[in-house]
Each structure stands twice: as C-alpha cells, then as structure tokens.
Amino acid sequence: MKISKLLKFTCISVLASTALHAISLKDSIEKVLATNPEVIAEKNNQKAFRKYIDERRGNYYPRIDIDGTLEKSKTKKEYDSTSTLNDTTDDEDGYNFGIALNQMIYDGDLTPSRVREAKHNELANKYRTRANIENVVLETITAYTGLVQYNELLALTKDMIVTNEENLEIAKEKESISGEVLETYQVDSKLNFVKEKYLEEKDLKSSRLSTFKRYIGSEADGSETRPSIDMSKIPTSLQKAVELAVLRNNEVLEQIERIKAQRELIAQADATFLPTLGLELKALTDNDLSLDEEGKEDQVYGRINLAWNIYNGGGDHAVSKQEELFLAEQKDRLDGITNKVVENTKVNYQRFMKNKDRIEVLKKYVTANENIVDVYKSEFEAGTRTFVDILNAQTELYEAKKSLVNREYDLYSNYYEILNNSSMLSESILTENQDGSSVLPVEVVESNTNVQTDEVAQMLEDDNTVETKKEEVSDELNVLLGDDVANTVVEDKLSVNPDETVPAVVIPADAQYIEYASFLDASPESYTVNIATTKGLQKANEFVSEKGLDSTQAYTYEFGPGMKSAKVIYGIFDSVKEAKAAIANFSTDLKAGKPYIDNISKHQKLYKKYH
C-alpha cells in the first residue's frame, strides 16, 4: 500500500513539475514578437516610414548653399604675322566665394499638405504592418493549438490501440476455447484501422511541428498546454461585434488613412493654382577674377521672389480632377474592406456561439457513450451481450471523444479569428493571466482585467503613437473619415425612409416635446433624431439656423480628437413612434440628409468621452 501511494505521489509530482515548466501560448507569442524575422522586418519598416515625415518637414527650414572658385590660369595669345597686335601672355589667379540662404515663405499650402500626407501614409503603413504582425501571431497560434490538438488526438488514439490490443488477447483466448475466429478478425481489423489513424495523426503533427519551429524559432518539447478563452473579450451581441470590428480593424483604419492621404494629394494639386513666395539672401566676394587682377569685389543682396503660374494649358486642372477620382476609388475600397470585415465577423461570431452549444452536446454524448461501454461490459460478463457489441461501443466512444476535441479546437479557431478581426489578438493574449493547462477541455475565463494597450503597442512597434480604438458609436468612425459619413453596417438600426408616410400621432401637448436645458439631462432610455455631423461647433450651429430647426429642440455638441467635429441632434422622445412623427414633419431638405432615430444614451456617452 505504501509503495502504491509513493508511486501515485511521484506521478502527481512529475505532472505538477511539467505544468510549472509548460510553455504557454503567451510565452510563445512574446518570443515571436521579440525574435521572429518577419515581425522584426515589419518593425524596421515602421521606423523607415517615420523618416518620410522628417524629409517633408525639411521644406519648412531654410536652405543654405555655399559655392566658390579658386582659380589660377595662364592665357597665351599669339597673333598671325599679318596682325597689328602683339603677342601677349596673361596670368590670372584669384577666388570667389558665395553663401546663399533661401527660405520658403508661402507655397500655396504645398509643404504643410505634404507633411500631413506623410503622417497619414506613416499611420497607414503602421496599421498595415500591425495587420501583418497580427497575421504572424495568428499563424503562430494556429501552429501552437494545432500541436496541442494532435497531442490530444494521438493520446486518444494510442489509448484506443492499447484497448484493442487487450481486446485481441481476449478474442484469441476465446478462439482457443471455442474455435470461433470471427471475433479475432473483427478486433484485428479495428486495431489496424486505429493504427493507420495513429500514423495519419503523427504525420499531421509533424507539419505542425515544422510550422511551430518556423514562427517560434525552437523545437516543441511537448509541454505545450491548452490556452484559455476569455469570454469578456467576446462582445455580448453580433451588432456589438460588428461595430467593434469596424472601428478597430487594422485594414479599415489603414484605408481611412489612405483616404486622408489622398485628400492631401488633392490639396497639393490645388496648390499649383496659388502663388509662391520665397526669401533669398546672398553674399559674394571676388578677388581678382571679375576685376581681372585689379582688385576685390563684394556683393550682398536680399530678394523676395514671387512666382505664380497663370495658365499652363489646363494641365494642373486635369491633375486635380484626377486626384479627386482617385479619392473616389479609395472610398470605394473602404466600402469593400468594411464589407469583408463585417462578413468575417458575422461568420466567426455565429460559428463561435454555435460551437459553444455543440460542445455541450458532445460532452453529454461522450458521457452517454462511456456509460454504454460500462453497461455493455457488465452485460457481456452476464452473457447478454456479445464481444462485438463492446467493440462497437468502444469505437463509438473513441469517435465521440475525437469529435469533442476537434470541435473544441474549432472553438479556439473562431475565438482567435474574432480577436484578429477586431485587431486585438496580441493584446488579448499578452495581457491575460495564463497559469498552465486548463482542467476543463476548454477553459472559459470571465475576466474584467483592463488591457494594458501601451505595453502591447511597445511589443508590436517601437512607440505607441497610435491610439487603440475602443468600442464606441459609429460617429467616431465618421470623425476618422473627416466630413464623409462612413458606410458601416449596423444591424437593427432605427432608420426612417425620407419618403415614408408616418401616420399622425396624437400626443398630449404637455408630453409631446419635453424641453431640456441639455440632452445630458434626458433619461438614457429616451430617443433622439440624429440629423448631421459637421466640421466644428460653429458649422453645427449655422446648420441649425439655416435649416430652420427649433433652437429649443435642437442640440449641438463637439466631439472627436481636437474637438474638430460636431453633432446635430433633434428632440428628446419617449418612444420611437414619437421620433418618427417628428421626422415626418421635417422639411424635404432635412429628409434628404437621411436623419435616423438614435438612443440618446449614445450621444451622452460620446459627449462625456470628450468633455
């Protein structure tokens, strides 16, 4: 008994030691971000792109040029005999030296626009490289989880081989007693089938091992463990998942910066229609060269140079229109990228939720098959079941366990695809607490830990100048795009067709429109009409005045980085029906802007975020 207890204690100690030294997914990702050549190359690319901004900023500063000549010459003149001139020899030596300073004063906003373009291109490139790094991380995760998956499948198959080998011994014993060979053949058939599966799984594992070494840079040692699934990272609804993905996806953010950079190209093309002013200062000194060995000449002058092209055959106008067409192209590309992101988010979110349910069903299926095997063994001993019944039940149990393992790793795949589509894959893994393998087949963690995005940004790049986008209303995406409204896909959006006829609504006079000093005082359960987003608060107030909106019902507020954008909303309503009635009374001009019904809480949160 003491020896048995000692062996059990030793086994537990070995397993505990293995768990303590297990290589977690977090450890693997940290190593990839620090040593993987593809990741390092992307980081170097980020550094290189920052230099474009410095290059463009150089035009703000003066240009200083120095030129000079040091000369020693001998000129010999020999005339023909018929000439009346005498032959001469002239010796000259001397120097001249000059220094010039040129300073751009005004160039039609060309230089500022080029700097802004460089900044947008640098941000676009940063989002692009981040997306590439995230793809490397996703491939690493796939290799890691695939390796753990095939380790588990191989363990299941190996156990099944041992079980069938034991069954074969029993079948041979029965054959030697009864002379029946059918059961021996059946067991041998199942044993060879499982052995072939084992070889197939080993081959698939070897490919995972190669991918693991490629990304992580070291051989797997077999101590890899299942990662955990943090349900706090999964949005509570499909609509929120779509909004989060559209606001945070690196490809979407990259394309937004491409659009902004294209706007700057239009501004640069338009700069050719404007004059340029430049300051030129120069000092010259000449000794014996310009005065032919007769002395020294000094010159100092300052100039303001003006250049303004009036007409060049319409070429500049054509370039400006060309850049506008390229801008339309970039906007269309944004629509395509957004649609792709929305589609991927929907597919993976729905699969994730369905796979969660399927896993629970499969767990019950495995338990039921385990019970069936136990019952069949008891009935076999009692003589009411055949050996073939047990074989079939064991095979069914083996397949059920394999299906459960595969479905659990499908859930992992959906989980990491959702995180990747929302551009929060690396930060989610690097900031979660992983303490080894999970006890349950799939460990689900409910966590409220704040994400340390600055630390993650340091691992993704060498600085953290790009803010991580939080889950927020779609108006923030509009701010990123500038004056244009982003075409985001949001389900169940409360919209009203401009041509829709809304039946008259009878509302008591004292309850139809409740005046609030500020929309912030309204109940979060109320509704409002989202009318417009403008460039600045002044434009919003002018919009209210020009459209003839009731100033007691119209609310304007600033939001966004630098308070450069403003929102116009109208009315506080207790129901959607009341809000629709208000829209029905709008002018045709207002309806053409496609106003839609919004939750007032959305605007309250947006206001508080920036005030």
The pLDDT mean for the chain works out to 80
pLDDT in tens, 354-390: 999 999 999 999 999 999 989 988 887 787 887 788 8
pLDDT-derived band at 455 (thresholds 50, 70, 90) equals: very low
5 has a pLDDT exceeding 70: no
Instruction: Please state, in angstroms and rounded to a whole number, the distance separating the CA atoms of residues 520 and 308.
Output: 52
User: Whole-model pTM?
Assistant: 0.65
Q: How far is CA 277 from the centre of its chain?
A: 43
pLDDT-derived band at 564 (thresholds 50, 70, 90) equals: confident
531 has a pLDDT exceeding 50: yes
Instruction: Please state, in angstroms and rounded to a whole number, the distance separating the CA atoms of residues 22 and 386.
Output: 44
Supply the pLDDT for residue 568: 92
| Of the ranges 9-18, 102-111, 213-222, 517-526, the best mean pLDDT one | 102-111
Supply the pLDDT for residue 418: 93
Instruction: Please state which architecture CATH assigns to domain 31-61+111-272+312-430+438-446.
Output: Up-down Bundle (1.20)
For the chain, the structural domain boundaries read 31-61+111-272+312-430+438-446, 86-106+274-308, 493-610
Tell me the β-bridge partners of 284. Answer: 98, 299
Contact 191, 164 (CB under 8 A): yes
pLDDT in tens, 36-66: 899 999 999 999 999 999 999 999 999 999 9
pLDDT in tens, 87-134: 777 777 888 899 999 999 999 899 999 999 999 999 999 999 999 999
> DSSP character for 585?
T
Shortest CA distance to 356 belongs to which of 412, 396, 308? 412
498 has a pLDDT exceeding 50: no
Contact 31, 217 (CB under 8 A): yes
The radius of gyration of the chain from alpha carbons, rounded to an integer in Å, stands at 38
φ, ψ at 522 (rounded to 5°): -75, 160
Superfamily designation of domain 493-610: Sporulation related repeat (3.30.70.1070)
pLDDT-derived band at 516 (thresholds 50, 70, 90) equals: low
Q: Which helix (H) or strand (E) holds 73?
A: strand 63-77
